[in-house]
Structure 1
Amino acid sequence: MIKSNEKRVAKDVFNSIPSVDENVVNEILQKELVDFNKKIIVLDDDPTGVQTIHDISVYTDWSVDSITKGFLEEKSMFFILTNSRGLTEDETEKAHKEIAANVVEVAKKYNKEFVIISRGDSTLRGHYPLETEVLKDTVETDADIKFDGEVIFPFFKEGGRFTVDNIHYVQYDEYLVPAGETEFAKDRTFGYERSHLGEWVEEKSNGQFTAENTTYISLQQIRALDIDGITNQLLAVQGFNKVIVNAVDYVDVKILTIALVKAMKIGKDFMFRSAAALTKIIGGVSDKGLLTKEELMKEKSENGGLIIVGSHVKKTTEQLEELKTCSFIEFIEFNCHLVLEPDRFKEEINRVIETCESLISSGKTVAVYTKRERLDLGENKKKEELMLSVKISDAVTSIVQRLKVRPNYIVAKGGITSSDIGVKGLEVKRATVAGQIKPGIPVWVTGTESKFPGIAYVIFPGNVGTKDTLREAVEILSR
């Protein structure tokens, strides 16, 4: 029996899973999606959730006007950036009530059925189950819809997140480490203990939903192409009980999506909590190669680029150290701990902005990074630390907000950092996802309304890539 707290050798796990003819799967999926006439609305709790798609719109507010534009687009799917991982529980609840009510209002106006996907972190952090519960309750109150179940699907191949035997893993080198044993599970705000996803649901819901009553879709069923059997499992789900999906490759997502679409056509309604893989498949997004510099930079500029590193996870710090080997980049450490001394903090912000402007306009690429040590005020100071972290985030955002010179490109490292810079710094209302510069690392092309229209904005998740990936992405942009 597999223990949920033991790491496993990745190649041994993958080699033990039967193969399947993907050409057959693609043919069935294509037929199933042809008449799946629902608008798919993806609520992204930070901007990194577009890391598998291309040529899809992202809206940075959830007004009726923005949602209407999304519904009227020809594409079946659009994203709304909620940035809820950077919000309090109260703020998250309020936002999701508004989103659900506005979606229902627009759907009724255009007589259009819809699916809501709550795109969450592939390492299981975020306001769960709060977000999907609020969405469920609000939609059921405002519309003639009753959700039968919730599909939990955190698989994300590009980031090395796999679910096997109902246990969710994060890949580190040649090992699969149970998610509950990683640094992500020790998150101050969104921490958890369980790696078995049924037990994780039970833990996060405080026992309201149990591992025993959860439906599990196994890799054995998926690879046996038991579409009828999986569909019947989905049809049996009721009472908003949970469905756990095992997956190690995109073919698993495709097979599950076929069964899901079949079940929904028969009349089942599901809420979704997933990482980025499901959105690509159910949204019918084609494969696309990694982006080139020529695709991203249509306008010639002598100015340097701007890289802002805010995330504090271990992987980001390792990537920053590797980036420092680049001789063409000037590095500026932003002493964010001065937030405890308002006058000196203001001086520090001004220093960073003035230095950035001077270097970028002289053709130098600049990397600004926050002090790597976390600000720790001691025990029982979570609220105070959160308030200070908001001030720091606002200060980092103001670097872009106040910048008078247009960089050749912008890279933001970390989910909350990239959200704040995109929405507040660049003032983006709607962006188009160009694709990915490296696996799992999306690029927005900003809209005409933004501070720097048409700029390539690289959204680099804190927890994705190897230690070389940030350097490699920047080298592509700077060649």
Structure 2
Amino acid sequence: MKSLNESNVHKCRNVREKLELHLARDPRKVVILDDDPTGTQTVKDVPVLTTWDKDLLIEEFRNDRKAFFILTNTRAFSENEAKRINREIVEYLDDVSRMTSKDYVLISRGDSTLRGHFPHELEDLWTDGLHRFDGILFYPFFEEGKRYTSEDIHYVEEEGKWTPVSETAFAKDTTFGFKCSNLKDYIAEKTGGVTRIEEIQSISLEDIRIGGADAVASKLKSLKNNQYCVINSTEFSDAIIVALAVARCEAEGKRYMIRSAASFVKARLGIFENTLISGEDLKVNDQSKAGIIFIGSHVPKTTMQLNYLLENSELASIEVNVVALLDEKSREQTIDDYAKQIDAYLQDKKDVVVFTSRSVVAFDNLEENLKISVSISEGLIGIARRIQVAPRYVISKGGITSSDMATRGLNIQRAMVQGQIIPGVPVWLTEKDSKFPDLSFVVFPGNVGEKSSLCDAYEIISK
């Protein structure tokens, strides 16, 4: 399949300009519900809220910005709690929309490796009549993370090879494991067969690259009554065409619930420029001479990156004993001891990486596994809360870890996305109400990057 840049079959070469024109005319606020904090990994100069207090929502609806993120962190909760959170947020958004006389469009940003509570966490929005949607668009393509969809099969590129996602470690996740790489099969699997494969539509690469926005819009217009539709893409130019088609359909009154990875969010917001930020442009706390890296994720990629970092840098390291964290008798003393160690390193102007022991504590029960993950994350957060010395920066590795670190460890209520330190790894700038104001907080997804990527990010921010 030829790319957009290589092919002459497209009737419109100014797809971006057409999309920008549609977006400029659209008065609605774009609200991205992010099930963990890594969804900001393709944008810049966009605010992110970690709470959905109505006063904060009103401020966002009334300012001149086109979009904002709300960190729901639902991937860290049970399915029922995830449903409750999404419903509550949408009810608040509906109230604020009425109060400010400003409509909004919703995007649910989810994992590009298919982990999470989709579709159940969103079902109440359409089954209970809270919102009406013509279609439910499933779009996990994520170029920066090398996650591609072709012929409805979703792939993860690993060491230059496209591997069906069901054959990767992500599919064996102890909480969100799955069996299917074909996205139609995946939806059927996740709905327990309630949604049949033959009921699910798809938009192919041929639709996008040969038919263009007109063909994609035609398929989108055919969707009705919350019908699922899988979207294929292997490069960002595909997402721009899809975004244009969605914009055209919405301008004609169609409504869609979009569950996407981060690349579509970038296209939908009309962000086409490079969002990478240089080390010189990063805002760091110059009053401090050392930073902290927190690592809670246990996926194999994170362990590989951690080992590479330890082998190729001179920073101090603290291995947090998970068993001690899970022991109620020793937990508080353990947390206090680690916080004091970190303070000592920061006082000595020594960068430090804090990581949980790599052995995985797992049970057969999915709810129990999730509770353990949350308990470990809470231990790291407890350590962060007791740190007294302001760090120069903080890098947090892993979605659940980063969310808890942002909201409870650093007390972030609102931050601004500066950009990405490396592809797929966003940097937030904290505001005055946080534990450490004007701090660069790097949200490093557990499933992103190559072996050296964590070390690369560290070298950029520590200079």
Q: Same fold (TM over 0.5)?
A: yes
Match status 1:396 vs 2:380: yes
Shift of 1:16: 12
Which amino acid in 2 is paired with 1:459? Answer: V
1:260 match:
246
Check the 8 A contact 2:19/2:247 in 1, yes or no.
no
Check the 8 A contact 1:234/1:263 in 2, yes or no.
yes
2:296 match:
310
1:43 match:
33
Shift of 1:228: 1.9
Distance in 1 (CA, whole Å) between partners of 2:266 and 2:201 is: 23
Q: Out of 409, 433, 439, which is 1:455 matched to? A: 439
Which amino acid in 2 is paired with 1:348? Answer: T
Match status 1:206 vs 2:192: yes
Shift of 1:96: 1.1
Q: 1:360-375 to 2 correspondence within 5 Å? A: 360-375=346-361
Shift of 1:463: 0.2
1:117 match:
107
| Pairs aligned (count) | 461
Shift of 1:38: 1.7
1:58 match:
48
Match status 1:19 vs 2:3: no
Shift of 1:379: 4.1
Q: What is the DSSP-based 3-state SS (H/G/I as helix, E as strand, rest coil) of the residue aligned with 1:151?
A: strand
Shift of 1:351: 2.1
Q: Out of 80, 86, 92, which is 1:90 matched to? A: 80
Distance 1:401 1:196, change over 3 A: same
Shift of 1:137: 4.1
Between 120-129 and 228-237, the greater mean CA deviation after superposition: 228-237
1:477 match:
461
Q: Out of 325, 328, 332, which is 1:346 matched to? A: 332
Distance in 2 (CA, whole Å) between partners of 1:354 and 1:395 is: 14
Check the 8 A contact 1:164/1:247 in 2, yes or no.
yes
Check the 8 A contact 1:118/1:131 in 2, yes or no.
no
Shift of 1:461: 0.2
Distance 1:16 1:81, change over 3 A: closer
Distance in 2 (CA, whole Å) between partners of 1:264 and 1:379 is: 44
1:10 match:
none
Check the 8 A contact 1:393/1:417 in 2, yes or no.
yes
Shift of 1:432: 0.3
Which amino acid in 2 is paired with 1:35? Answer: R
2:117 match:
127
Shift of 1:387: 3.4
Shift of 1:277: 0.8
Identity %: 38
Distance in 1 (CA, whole Å) between partners of 2:112 and 2:368 is: 28
Shift of 1:215: 1.6
Shift of 1:91: 1.4
Between 230-239 and 158-167, the greater mean CA deviation after superposition: 230-239
Distance in 2 (CA, whole Å) between partners of 1:233 and 1:308 is: 45
Check the 8 A contact 1:17/1:219 in 2, yes or no.
no
Q: 1:18-417 to 2 correspondence within 5 Å? A: 19=7, 23-137=13-127, 140-141=129-130, 145-297=131-283, 299-376=285-362, 378-380=363-365, 382-417=366-401
Distance in 2 (CA, whole Å) between partners of 1:200 and 1:132 is: 16
Check the 8 A contact 1:329/1:366 in 2, yes or no.
yes
Distance 1:340 1:442, change over 3 A: closer
Distance in 1 (CA, whole Å) between partners of 2:5 and 2:177 is: 30
Which amino acid in 2 is paired with 1:157? Answer: E
Which amino acid in 2 is paired with 1:33? Answer: L
Check the 8 A contact 2:76/2:370 in 1, yes or no.
no
Check the 8 A contact 1:331/1:367 in 2, yes or no.
yes
Match status 1:434 vs 2:422: no
Which amino acid in 2 is paired with 1:51? Answer: Q
Check the 8 A contact 1:413/1:460 in 2, yes or no.
yes
Distance in 2 (CA, whole Å) between partners of 1:131 and 1:435 is: 28
TM-score (norm. length: structure 2): 0.95
Q: Deviations over 1:335-389 (max 9, x none)?
A: 011234333333322221111000111100000100000113x544x44444343
Check the 8 A contact 1:44/1:119 in 2, yes or no.
yes
Q: Deviations over 1:131-183 (max 9, x none)?
A: 22123346x33xxx521111111000010100001111000112111111111
Distance in 2 (CA, whole Å) between partners of 1:276 and 1:132 is: 18
Distance in 1 (CA, whole Å) between partners of 2:235 and 2:3 is: 12
Distance in 2 (CA, whole Å) between partners of 1:269 and 1:217 is: 17
Check the 8 A contact 1:39/1:113 in 2, yes or no.
yes
Distance 1:240 1:392, change over 3 A: same
Distance in 2 (CA, whole Å) between partners of 1:38 and 1:137 is: 24
Distance in 1 (CA, whole Å) between partners of 2:376 and 2:46 is: 31
Q: What is the DSSP-based 3-state SS (H/G/I as helix, E as strand, rest coil) of the residue aligned with 2:308?
A: helix
Q: What is the DSSP-based 3-state SS (H/G/I as helix, E as strand, rest coil) of the residue aligned with 1:268?
A: coil
Distance 1:370 1:299, change over 3 A: closer
Between 125-134 and 356-365, the greater mean CA deviation after superposition: 125-134
Q: What is the DSSP-based 3-state SS (H/G/I as helix, E as strand, rest coil) of the residue aligned with 1:342?
A: coil
Which amino acid in 1 is paired with 2:442? Answer: V
Distance in 2 (CA, whole Å) between partners of 1:306 and 1:76 is: 33
Distance in 1 (CA, whole Å) between partners of 2:444 and 2:245 is: 33
Shift of 1:208: 2.3
Distance 1:475 1:115, change over 3 A: same
Distance in 1 (CA, whole Å) between partners of 2:51 and 2:7 is: 42
Check the 8 A contact 2:44/2:418 in 1, yes or no.
yes
Shift of 1:113: 2.1
Distance 1:435 1:345, change over 3 A: same
2:406 match:
422
Distance 1:379 1:147, change over 3 A: closer
Distance in 2 (CA, whole Å) between partners of 1:424 and 1:49 is: 19
1:8 match:
none
Shift of 1:267: 1.1
Distance 1:83 1:340, change over 3 A: closer
Q: Output the aligned Cα RMSD.
A: 1.9
Q: What is the DSSP-based 3-state SS (H/G/I as helix, E as strand, rest coil) of the residue aligned with 2:199?
A: coil
5+ residue gaps, structure 2, are: none
5+ residue gaps, structure 1, are: 1-12
Distance in 1 (CA, whole Å) between partners of 2:326 and 2:23 is: 54
Distance 1:15 1:38, change over 3 A: closer
TM-score (norm. length: structure 1): 0.92
Shift of 1:63: 2.1
Match status 1:466 vs 2:450: yes
